[in-house]
Every structure is written in C-alpha cells, then in structure tokens.
Amino acid sequence: MEISPGTNSFNPAAPRGVVRQEAAAAITSDFDTFLRMLTAQITNQDPLNPISSEQFAVQLATFSGVEQQVRTNQLLEGLVGASGQGDFTQMASWVGMEARAPMLTFYEGQPLSVTPQDPVAGNRHELVAVDQMGNEIWRGRYMPGTGSVLWDGILPDGTTVPHGLYGFQLESFEQDQLVATAPALTYGQVQEVRIDRGGPVLVFTGGVEMYADEVSALRRAAAGPP
C-alpha cells in the first residue's frame, strides 16, 4: 500500500464535583461543631468564674474565621462549578465532529488521516500501523515534511483490515538502528463529552477516551460513501 498526502484509553478519577462536595461538607460539619461547643461553653460556664473577655474575644475571632472559611469555599465552589459548566456547554458542540489526537482510531472502510509528528532524530523514518493489541500490521516509508497521509487499510497481501481500532507511530532509524518512536495523530469522531476531575473528556467511536486538552485539531465529520 502506498501512502498519499491527505488534506489510549484511561480510567478517569472521581469527578471534581464529588471532591468539592465532600470538602464543603467537611468544613460545614466543623463549623457546626464549633458553634455547638461555643454555645455549650457559654451556657455552662461557672458564674463565679466566667470566661474572661480576652478568651471570649479570641473564640469569637475563631468563630468568625471559620464562618469566613465556609463562605469562601462556597464561593470558590460556585465559581469552579460555573467554569466547569461553561466547558461542558462548549465541548458539547464537539459531539459529531472529528477531533485529532494521539489515539487509537476506528477504521470502518474509509481512509484514515494520519499526521506523524516531526522526527527528532534519525535519517530514515517509517510509519507503522498497529492493531488494538499493539501488534504491527503494516509499515511504510515516510518522508519528513510530507504532512498528513491517508492510510487506506490495505495490507501488503492485498487484503483490507477488518473494521476496528488501529493506532499509528513514527519510527526513526539511524542506519539500521531504531533511535526514536513517537505516536502519530489521527482523527476520530466524538460521540460523547463529559466532565471529569481532570477536565472535559471526549469519548470517540469505538470507546476510546481522551482528555480534551490532548486534541490538536477539530473538523466537521467527513461525509460517508454515497
């Protein structure tokens, strides 16, 4: 197969909202406990030896500090929540579009656009295609500066790969020695967007998931075959 110029999933951690809610609940609980303890102390103080004005002032200052901490955290939670909602609303418009990232991409009979990264070493470079398990299925020479290429899914024996997930990498050689390997970028269609503790997460055709900040390009979905 010739290549012609063309025009890894993870386990998300707990959502940010859960972390913020747990932190706010803990602070609110401490505040309520402090208030009950202060009220009980004042109510049950010894009439013959009441709390001094200095101690009372210190405790009131502490009370004020705790209250301010609760309010500050509630305000920050609101700001972060609003920001996250803004990201979600913006990213929701990506559904149905194609985003480019270093990931496995679903092949379903149409050529895939592959963009190798600029090589950092070597005098000979080869683009390698691998299946979902990481097994090499195809390789071809790549000339730096070519830009994006189209991979048609045809193997050296003339057969076409079955529909499924495939990845690409650029291997650089110095003479016959492998000196560098870098993942290539491919386009995948966005099927879902969700908010995760690490930021907006994009779910692509085939179930591949990537953080939105790993995307380097976005385009309208290519029209299917007539």
| Average predicted confidence (pLDDT) for the chain | 77
Which one, of 226, 164, 217, lies nearest residue 186 by Cα? Answer: 217
Checking if the pLDDT of 44 tops 70, the result is yes
Q: How far apart are CA 154 and CA 137, in angstroms?
A: 10
CB hemisphere CA count around 41 (13 angstroms): 13
Q: Residue 169 has what pLDDT?
A: 96
Who's near 205: CB < 8 A, 6+ residues apart? 106, 188, 189, 191
Concatenating the DSSP letter of every residue in 15-35 gives: -HHHHHHHHHHHHHHHHHHHH
Give the three-state DSSP class for 155. coil
Q: What is the pLDDT of residue 159?
A: 96
When pLDDT is averaged across residues 53-79 and rounded to a whole number, the result is 60
pLDDT digits (tens, 9 = 90+) for 148-161: 999 999 999 999 99
Residue at 45: amino acid letter = Q
Q: What is the pLDDT of residue 3?
A: 45
Q: How confident is the model at residue 77 (pLDDT cuts 50, 70, 90)?
A: low
Query: CA-to-CA distance for 32 and 28, rounded, in angstroms?
Result: 6
**162 with 175: CB under 8 angstroms?**
no
Pairing verdict, β 4-5 and 177-183: unpaired
pLDDT at 125: 95
pLDDT for the residue 56: 59
Q: How confident is the model at residue 66 (pLDDT cuts 50, 70, 90)?
A: low
Under the banding of pLDDT at 50, 70 and 90, the label for residue 192 is very high
- What pLDDT score was predicted for residue 11? 33
Distance CA 151, CA 186 (A): 10
201: its two tokens? 């997460």
**Contact predicate 63/41, CB 8 Å:** no
